[in-house]
Structure 1
Amino acid sequence: MTRGAVHWHFKNKEGLLFAIGAQAQERFSREVADLSHLGYRAHLDAVADAAIAIFARLEDDRRHKGLLRMVLRSDILARDRGDGVESAYRKNLHDALLSAFEAVEKNGALRSGWTAAAAAQMTAAFICGLIAEWALDESLEFAPAADIVREMLGSLLAQD
């Protein structure tokens, strides 16, 4: 691929980075969005499985750290400039989680005091925070996060 071909498709380097980040996160969104056939507990198990699968894929190829650092920096700079050119990965993650939590809420299974929107926002922040910490910290590993993700999601369910 020639250098000009890349610039033809993307406005700038940030656009290319945001596209790469969105593509990496697309599988998670697809998996979470396709949960309509599951019961509400299975919804949250599938969300946890999808998040844990992302963590495993990231750890399998350490080159992702450098790419994620660039995406994080670019996203912060774009947001600060206010030019509307920022990545969609956080919004896509939130939207996918919102869909899952709406199904849980519809079944009356969301913990008292929580809304689907609040649960989705908190869970997206938690997952994005883990990924950002992993990208910035050489010693952080995702393996222990699997149990924490499951416990955190389980804590959002109404008590039986």
Structure 2
Amino acid sequence: MRRTKEQAAQTAEQILLAAENLFLEQGYDDVSLEEIAASANVTRGAVHWHFKNKQGLLRSMRRKALEPYRKLVDDLSENTRVASMDTLCTLISDMFRRIQAEPRYQGLFCAMARLDLTMAAKNEADGRTFREEKYALLVRIFELIEQESGLPDPWTPNKVASAFNASVSGLMLEWALGRGTIRLVPDGIVFVKALLGLWVNRGSPISSSQ
């Protein structure tokens, strides 16, 4: 039974990787489940079983995008002395660099944004779960930062998490939609550094090395 679960997880990861590559190459709307199955070397039934449909694949990709935040929470929980705004700034900056290096991510982000709007309009549980998990991770990150260095009044971890999430999500959506001249690198990194600087306590600046 243990081996079966491992094989299932490996197959799901294989399908997810194939789908992401095809979405980037052809665009989300132009890729069929048959193409995804063929690229992953599995049957269409396997794709249905693991993800149900293309939206299910997109949901899984979106959840996977939270992995760096989960890892950061784990790292900060084990060693609060590294719980600084610098740590979070580095995470976001690295993410922006990876995305900027692959311009085709714009189309994928647009598809994810459409999915978010659809689920929010329908008040679907999966959409709420994702938003709640992302918010909870950010709150925990800022709680750990507050424990180590504090937050300036009147900010609390909950308030900072809400403002930070809204700002970064809005920035990425503007970039994905191609509005204006905003670039994730270097513009987005400069913006995030300045934003996090608002919540640095005791006048400690965000490192200039980001």
The yes-or-no answer on 1:140 pairing with 2:200 is no
Give CA-to-partner distance per residue, 1:9-36, whole Å, 9 cap, x none. 1233222101012213322432344223
2:85, 2:196 within 8 Å by CA — same for their partners in 1? yes
Give CA-to-partner distance per residue, 1:85-105, whole Å, 9 cap, x none. 327554333222211211232
**Which structure has more helix as a fraction of its residues?**
2
Structure of larger gyration radius? 2
**Bigger RCO of structures 1 and 2 (CA < 8 A, at least 6 apart):** 1
- What residue number does 1:104 align with? 145
SS of equivalent to 2:153? coil
The yes-or-no answer on 1:39 pairing with 2:81 is yes
Distance 1:32 1:128 in 2: 19
- Call closer, same or farther: CA 1:140–1:125 in 2, change over 3 Å: same
- Call closer, same or farther: CA 1:83–1:28 in 2, change over 3 Å: closer
Give CA-to-partner distance per residue, 1:103-128, whole Å, 9 cap, x none. 23234620111111101111111111
Q: TM-score, normalised by structure 2?
A: 0.67
Give CA-to-partner distance per residue, 1:26-73, whole Å, 9 cap, x none. 224323442231437x52111010011111111111221111111110
- Call closer, same or farther: CA 1:48–1:90 in 2, change over 3 Å: farther
Distance 2:92 2:159 in 1: 18
1:35, 1:100 within 8 Å by CA — same for their partners in 2? yes
- What residue number does 2:19 align with? none
Distance 1:132 1:7 in 2: 29
Computed over aligned residues only, the root mean square deviation of the Cα atoms, in angstroms, reads 2.2
Structure 2 stretches lacking a partner, 5+ long = 1-41, 204-210
- Call closer, same or farther: CA 1:83–1:145 in 2, change over 3 Å: closer
Distance 1:61 1:88 in 2: 28
- Call closer, same or farther: CA 1:148–1:140 in 2, change over 3 Å: closer
- Call closer, same or farther: CA 1:89–1:61 in 2, change over 3 Å: farther
- What residue number does 1:157 align with? 200
- What residue number does 1:75 align with? 116
Distance 1:109 1:85 in 2: 33
